[in-house]
Amino acid sequence: MMHDKGLSTNIGWQDKDAYGKSLSTRQRQRMQRLRTWNERFRTRDSKDRNLKQALGEIDRMASALGLPDNVRETASVIYRRALSENLLPGRSIEGVATAALYAAARQAGNPRSLDEFTAVSRVDKMELTRTYRYVIRELKLEIQPADPGSYVPRFVSRLDLSEETQRLARDLLDGAKQAGITSGKSPVGLAASAVYAAALLSNEKVTQSQVSAVADISEVTIRNRYKELLNASEGLTA
């Protein structure tokens, strides 16, 4: 996760000596010059500068999305591979960094939607999608299709719903999968609709608008999908 793997010298930003006393004006100027030269040596070529910028982007986006350290580490490895295999020419550092983090989150079973990534990234959705497909193809990454159930706990938590609703939402998704109605549909849309339908079954108060805001999908999608999920559930129990 550190472009130099933490092996280089780091000069602290505090203008104090080892005893905690403030440095004189002349000493502060000297330390500032040392920091400047130290930073130049740490990123002495374009590859180092590229990596430093990309890993900084990965860390920033992961923090904004609440992704754990293991996802950040995997994303850093993916980006390093892309850089070493010369996949960057013609593509932005931000685009490849975002694609690496998106792939890492999918691999770790801790996915976020494309819209969530777009909201924190410096690239648009189209560039992210195009770069993601290119990176996983060229690096031969094995990415399983996103499981709608992996989004459920996060949506339930944000809406402050019960464990019963979470369990029912998973049951609805399992029923939909058995009925064969999940193929080709957005996993985020299915998860959000399952949470809404489960909340209704649990008599918990939540609106389509609230679920839409949490999942960043349209209310129309929720209306269409939650009815399909309930019908599939009734069909299996009939």
- The pLDDT value given to residue 37: 66
CA dihedral 158, 163, 169, 175 (to 10 degrees): 160
46-138 shares its CATH topology with 148-237: yes
Q: Where are the domains of the chain?
A: 46-138, 148-237
pLDDT band at 238 (very low <50, low <70, confident <90, very high): very low
Highest mean pLDDT among 13-17, 19-23, 124-128: 124-128
Question: Hey, what CATH topology would domain 46-138 get?
Answer: Cyclin A; domain 1 (1.10.472)
Over residues 13-36, the mean pLDDT reads 75
Q: Is the pLDDT of residue 237 over 60?
A: no
pLDDT band at 138 (very low <50, low <70, confident <90, very high): very high
Q: What is the pLDDT of residues 84-103, one digit of tens each?
A: 999 999 999 999 999 999 99
d(CA 162, CA 147): 21
Highest mean pLDDT among 1-10, 20-29, 34-43, 125-134: 125-134
Q: What is the pLDDT of residues 114-131, one digit of tens each?
A: 889 999 999 999 999 999
Measure Cα distances from 128 to 15, 57, 142, 230 in Å. Answer: 42, 14, 18, 34
d(CA 209, CA 232): 23
The 8-class DSSP code of residue 145 comes to P
Question: Hey, what CATH topology would domain 148-237 get?
Answer: Cyclin A; domain 1 (1.10.472)
238: burial class by Cβ within 10 Å (0-12, 13-18, 19+)? exposed
C-beta separation of 226 from 207 below 8 A: no
- Identify the bridge partners of residue 16 per DSSP, sorted by sequence position: 22
d(CA 216, CA 210): 10
